Structure 1
Amino acid sequence: MHQAVREFTVRGARGVELRCYVAGGRGPAVLFLHGLAGSAREFLPTAAALPERRTVLMDLRGHGGSTRHPADVSREAYVADVVRVIEEVGPPVVLVGQSMGGHTAMLVTASRPDLVTQLVLLEVDAGGGRSEDHEAMGDYFRSWPVPFSSRAAASAFLGDAPLAQAWAADLEERDDGFWPRFDAGVMVAAIGPVRVPRRTEWERVSAPTLVVYGQEGLFDEAAKAEFVRRGRNVTRMDLTGASHDAHLDCFGPWLAALRGFVLS
C-alpha cells in the first residue's frame, strides 16, 4: 500500500478477537469485508488503490488473524463484530463486502443505517444455497494435505486460479509447515445461516448501494435481477469475464467500479 498499514485488534462479544488493518487517507473510512475462507489480505491491493480515503480491513471471526474457533458463527454475531469495528474506527463508513462479507455488510446496513453512508456489494444476494453444496465445500477444504511443506507445494496442489493463489499466499507458517488460516468445520458452520433468505432486511437498506456481479460469477441472471429489483437505491454493474472473486481476477474493472462510486 502507498501508506503504512497499522495493525490493531478489536475485542468482540464473548472474548472474540478481531484482527484489523488501517491505512491513511482522510474522510470517512472505507471498511472492507472479505468472503468465506478468505481474509483481509485479499483486499489490500484494492485498499492501496484508494489513497484518497482512510481504508480499514478486518479478518472476520473464524478467519485470518481473528479468533479461529469462535463459539458463535451466527449472522448476528458477524453483524455485531462489524458494528464493533465501525464504532472503533469512527462512524459512519463506506461498507464494502464480497460474497459472505457482502451479505454481512447488507445486514449491518439494514440494522444500523446510521453507521453506513454507502454500500458496495460484490457477488451478493439475499441468501440461499443448498446445504449439500456447503458440505462439499467443507470436504474440499478437508482434502487439503496440510501442513503443506512450502507455499510452492500449496500452489501446486491448489492450482493457479486467483483465489487458489490467494489461499496459498495467506497460509500461516508454523514450525511444521504451512496451514490455512481457517478451519473447514467452522467454514461450513458459518456459511449455513447464509442459506436463510434475508429479503426483508435487504428491502430496508436505504443507503446508496453499488451491486457488482461477475459475468462468470455465482448467480444466474434471474437471481441478479431479482436482487437488484428488490433494492431501494441500487446501481448495478456487471464485470465481463469476472468470476465470483472479481476483486482478484478482474481487478482493473472492479477498481474502476468501486472508485467511480465511492469517490463520486
Structure 2
Amino acid sequence: MAAFTVGPAPGVELSCYDSGGDGPAVVLLHGLAGTAREFFPTAAALPEYRAVLVDLRGHGGSTRVPPGVARSDYVSDVVRIIEHVGAPVVLVGQSMGAHTAMLVAAERPDLVGGLVLLECGAAGGDFDGHEAIGEYFRSWPTPFSSRAAARSFLGDGPLARAWAEDLEERADGFWPRFDPDVMAEAAAGLAAPRWKEWHAVQAPALVVYGGRGMFTADAKDAFVQQGHRVSRVDLPEASHDAHLDAFDDWVGALRGFLDREGHGQRPDCP
C-alpha cells in the first residue's frame, strides 16, 4: 500500500493510500473518528482494483485541526482526490464517509461512476447529537499508557479494537488520531437533512445496512425508496461498523455491486 499526500486547500494535507492495482479505481472513505486503515482489509480483498483510501481531514495522518470541517470542506477534499486519481471512480463510504460520498455524487456526477453507502441516511436526525459525541471523546483518559490500557478502557468491540490499534505513540503515551472538539464540530454538519442532494444522485448505488446499525427500519426504507437506481443489502448480524464485524458479508455485497455494474472490467476489456 503506497502512501501519498494531497493538499486540497490552504492549511490542509490529506494522507492517502494507493493499492496500485491496474483495474478500475475505488475510493474508500471512513466514518467519523476513523481512519483509512479500517478499510485496508477491504482493499486487500479487491486485488484487481486500484483501491485508494483516504484519511479525511481531522483524522488519521491528515491535518489534525484543519481550518474548517463543514460538509462542503469534506466534499471539496474528495473531489480533489478523485481528480488526482482520475475519474470516474466508484466511491465507497461508511457513516460520515458515506454521507460525504453521497454529497460528492450529487455535486459532481461526472466524477462518480458508482456509489456504495454503508450505513447512510439523508434525514439528518438519524445521527447522534454532536455534543454527546464530543463529550464521549473528551472522556477518554488520554494519553493511554499502552494499547492494552486503551483496550481496557474502550472495550472489546470491533470499533474499539480499531481505535486502540491505530493510536499514535508519542513520548508521553498513546493518543487518538483525532481531536475531540474537531469531531464534535464535524458531526454537527450531519444534522441537516440532505434529501435534495440524495434525490440528485444519478449514479447506480448500493446501500448496505447492519441489522444492529444506527438506523430505524423506517429510516432505511425511506432512504432507499427516495433514491434513483438504488439496490439494498441488509446484513442482519452486523453493526454500524459492518466493514469490521461482518467483513465477509460486507465484501460480498461490495463485490456483488461492482460485478453487477460492470466495474470489474479492466480498462482494456471490450
Superposed displacement of residue 32, structure 1: 0.2
Name the structure 2 match of 1:183.
Answer: 179
Alignment of 1:212 with 2:208, yes or no, is yes
Q: Pairwise CA RMSD of aligned residues?
A: 1.1
Name the structure 2 match of 1:232.
Answer: 228
TM-score (structure 1 length as normaliser) = 0.96
> What is the CA–CA distance in structure 2 between the aligned matches of 1:132 and 1:53, rounded to whole Å?
34
> What is the CA–CA distance in structure 2 between the aligned matches of 1:53 and 1:170, rounded to whole Å?
25
**Residue of structure 2 aligned with 1:151, choices 147, 153, 156:** 147
Q: Match of 1:42, as an amino acid?
A: E
Superposed displacement of residue 24, structure 1: 2.1
Q: Aligned residues: percent identity?
A: 66
Q: Match of 1:91, as an amino acid?
A: A
**1:115-264 paired onto structure 2 within 5 Å:** 115-129=111-125, 133-264=129-260
In 2, are the aligned partners of 1:60 and 1:78 still within 8 Å (CA)? yes
After superposition, the Cα gap between the structure-2 partners of 1:130 and 1:218, relative to the gap in structure 1 and judged at 3 Å, is closer
After superposition, the Cα gap between the structure-2 partners of 1:222 and 1:132, relative to the gap in structure 1 and judged at 3 Å, is closer
**Residue of structure 2 aligned with 1:109, choices 98, 105, 108:** 105
In 2, are the aligned partners of 1:28 and 1:91 still within 8 Å (CA)? no
In 2, are the aligned partners of 1:26 and 1:54 still within 8 Å (CA)? yes
Aligned pair count reads 260
Q: Match of 2:180, as an amino acid?
A: A
Superposed displacement of residue 263, structure 1: 2.7
Name the structure 2 match of 1:80.
Answer: 76
Superposed displacement of residue 28, structure 1: 2.3
In 2, are the aligned partners of 1:241 and 1:250 still within 8 Å (CA)? yes
After superposition, the Cα gap between the structure-2 partners of 1:136 and 1:82, relative to the gap in structure 1 and judged at 3 Å, is same
Alignment of 1:70 with 2:75, yes or no, is no
Q: Match of 1:179, as an amino acid?
A: W
Name the structure 1 match of 2:266.
Answer: none
In 2, are the aligned partners of 1:127 and 1:194 still within 8 Å (CA)? no
> What is the CA–CA distance in structure 2 between the aligned matches of 1:28 and 1:52, rounded to whole Å?
8
> What is the CA–CA distance in structure 2 between the aligned matches of 1:254 and 1:131, rounded to whole Å?
22
> What is the CA–CA distance in structure 1 between the aligned matches of 2:216 and 2:111, rounded to whole Å?
31
**Residue of structure 2 aligned with 1:60, choices 56, 69, 72:** 56
> What is the CA–CA distance in structure 2 between the aligned matches of 1:192 and 1:133, rounded to whole Å?
7
> What is the CA–CA distance in structure 2 between the aligned matches of 1:25 and 1:131, rounded to whole Å?
35
The 3-state SS of whatever aligns with 2:190 is: helix
Give unmatched runs, 5+ long, in structure 1: none
- List per-residue Cα deviations over 1:233-264 (Å, max 9, x = no partner): 10011001111000001111001000111133
Superposed displacement of residue 71, structure 1: 1.4
- List per-residue Cα deviations over 1:9-37 (Å, max 9, x = no partner): 00011220000000122232100000000
> What is the CA–CA distance in structure 2 between the aligned matches of 1:130 and 1:56, rounded to whole Å?
28
Q: Match of 2:125, as an amino acid?
A: G
Name the structure 1 match of 2:268.
Answer: none
Q: Match of 2:155, as an amino acid?
A: G
> What is the CA–CA distance in structure 2 between the aligned matches of 1:78 and 1:136, rounded to whole Å?
22
Superposed displacement of residue 207, structure 1: 0.5
TM-score (structure 2 length as normaliser) = 0.94
